[in-house]
């Protein structure tokens, strides 16, 4: 399915925006973006993975964004770029239907405190609540039903989709994207036990998010217990991720869906955590670490690289046999030590 651009863009305009080399008619107008196999004569498409090269010869697209190596194989106009997937990422924004709906103004049903500061060209949707002391930078968009708590800041050109909750005392940088249902700055999971019941610990810190951070739907980033939870620049967080109090995430890191990070753990820069990864509390993960999906990390990692835990899926009968062996590993190890000692004595 393509995403139409009502105005249309010429291939020359697109090539200029992307810094691509145009092969074909620069005056040709395209109005949509689609896949190689689904594109029509008014669409532009892209080839970023060689696995889809088989669809290139039969594409009906007006033009294809691709690597220079594939220009001669293209049956239509092309825009050649060294990194066509990065070009596609930029191209996608030109055909985003949300952009056409960005009309500055405050909906009549919104509740905006007289003590809030609202920058130029801000859009505040229906049923939004903006509390005392809030600062919204220029071009901020706050979607329907969202709440921005007292004394929080949202940097310029940031977007809160529908039903986002930003709690009190949260600082969000520029160009952030917060998807529906996420909660930024809720209480951390802090309780003291007296031997019979739990006593809540007031969470007195906040959350500080850098520029260009994106948070997926229904994810939670808890406020710090005393200091702040810190999410640095260009961190990308998928849906249903839980980040506990006082966690720090280094810049340019990415967390896939259902990651869970316990309190006070520090994740370095340029790290990638696969889906379902769990990090125990009070750990340090150095820069450049990749943890594969469903892994559990219980110790700090001090060397960059790829780390995994657990076992991959296998036939259940085989897994049950292996599970028995897991329970025997300690005894097997002890027996091996005894045999090695006996061997050395003989």
Q: Domains of the chain: which residue ranges?
A: 9-100, 105-307, 318-346
**Both tokens of residue 321?**
């046999």
Q: How many helices (H) and strands (E) does the chain have?
A: 3, 39
- Whether 28 and 63 have beta carbons less than 8 Å apart is answered as yes
The residue that leads in pLDDT, 346 or 76, is: 76
CA–CA gap between residue 268 and residue 266 (Å, rounded) = 6
Strand order in the sheet with 123-124: 105-106, 123-124, 141-142, 159-160, 177-178, 214-215, 236-237, 254-255, 272-273, 289-291, 305-307
The confidence band for 7, taking pLDDT boundaries of 50, 70 and 90, is low
Residues belonging to the chain: 346
Q: What pLDDT was estimated at residue 1? A: 42
Residue 5 has pLDDT above 60, yes or no: no
Is 9-100's fold the same as 105-307's? no
Alpha helices in the chain (DSSP H): 11-18, 84-94, 316-345
* Helix H or strand E encompassing 199: strand 198-200
CA–CA gap between residue 6 and residue 336 (Å, rounded) = 73
Q: What is the pLDDT of residues 270-321, one digit of tens each?
A: 999 999 999 999 999 999 999 999 999 999 999 999 999 987 888 999 989 9
**In the 8-state DSSP scheme, what is residue 21?**
E
- Lowest average pLDDT, out of 81-85, 99-103, 300-304, goes to 99-103
| Helical axes 11-18 vs 84-94, angle rounded to 10° | 120
User: In the chain, pLDDT over 70 holds for what percent of residues?
Assistant: 98
Whether 245 is catalytic is yes
Q: Which of 93, 107, 168, 245 is catalytic?
A: 245
**Average pLDDT for 111-119:** 98
Q: What is the pTM of this model?
A: 0.88
User: Which one is the CATH code of 105-307: 2.160.10.10, 2.170.120.30, 1.20.1630.10, 3.40.190.10?
Assistant: 2.160.10.10
Instruction: Please name the fold of domain 9-100.
Output: 3.40.1390
Mean of pLDDT over the chain: 94
Residue 101 has pLDDT above 60, yes or no: yes
Residue 100 has pLDDT above 50, yes or no: yes
Q: What pLDDT was estimated at residue 182? A: 98
Beta-strand relationship, 147-148 and 165-166: parallel
Phi, psi of 4 (to 5 degrees): -70, 145
Determine the straight-line distance between the first and last CA of the chain, rounded to whole angstroms: 75
CA–CA gap between residue 317 and residue 21 (Å, rounded) = 56
Phi, psi of 80 (to 5 degrees): -95, 130
- Whether 273 and 291 have beta carbons less than 8 Å apart is answered as yes
């Amino acid at each position: 399915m393509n995403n139409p651009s009502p105005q249309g863009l010429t291939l020359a305009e697109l090539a200029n925006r992307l810094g691509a080399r145009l092969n074909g008619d620069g005056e040709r107008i395209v109005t949509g973006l689609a896949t190689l196999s689904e594109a029509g004569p008014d669409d532009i498409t892209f080839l970023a993975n060689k696995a889809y090269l088989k669809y290139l010869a039969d594409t009906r697209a007006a033009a294809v964004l691709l690597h220079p190596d594939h220009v001669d194989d293209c049956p239509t106009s092309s825009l050649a770029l060294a990194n066509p997937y990065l070009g596609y990422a930029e191209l996608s924004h030109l055909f985003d239907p949300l952009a056409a709906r960005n009309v500055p103004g405050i909906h009549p049903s919104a509740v905006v405190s007289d003590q809030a500061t609202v920058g130029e060209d801000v859009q505040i949707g229906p049923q939004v609540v903006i509390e005392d002391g809030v600062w919204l930078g220029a071009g901020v968009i706050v979607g329907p039903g969202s709440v921005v708590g007292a004394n929080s800041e949202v940097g310029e050109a940031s977007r809160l989709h529908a039903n986002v909750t930003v709690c009190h005392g949260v600082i969000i940088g520029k160009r952030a994207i917060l998807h529906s249902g996420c909660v930024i700055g809720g209480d951390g999971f802090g309780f003291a036990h007296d031997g019979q019941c739990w006593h809540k610990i007031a969470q007195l810190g906040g959350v500080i998010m850098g520029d260009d951070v994106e948070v997926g739907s229904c994810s939670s980033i808890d406020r710090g217990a005393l200091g702040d939870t810190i999410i640095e620049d260009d961190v990308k967080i998928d849906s249903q991720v839980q980040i506990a109090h006082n966690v720090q995430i280094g810049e340019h890191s990415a967390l896939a869906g259902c990651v869970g990070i316990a309190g006070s753990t520090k994740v370095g820069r340029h790290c990638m955590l696969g889906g379902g990864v769990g990090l125990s509390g009070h750990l340090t993960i150095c820069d450049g670490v990749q943890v594969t999906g469903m892994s559990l990390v219980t110790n700090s990692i001090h060397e960059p690289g790829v780390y995994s835990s657990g076992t991959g899926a296998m036939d259940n009968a085989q897994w049950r046999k292996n599970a028995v062996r897991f329970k025997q590993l300690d005894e097997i190890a002890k027996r091996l030590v005894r045999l090695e000692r006996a061997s050395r004595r003989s």
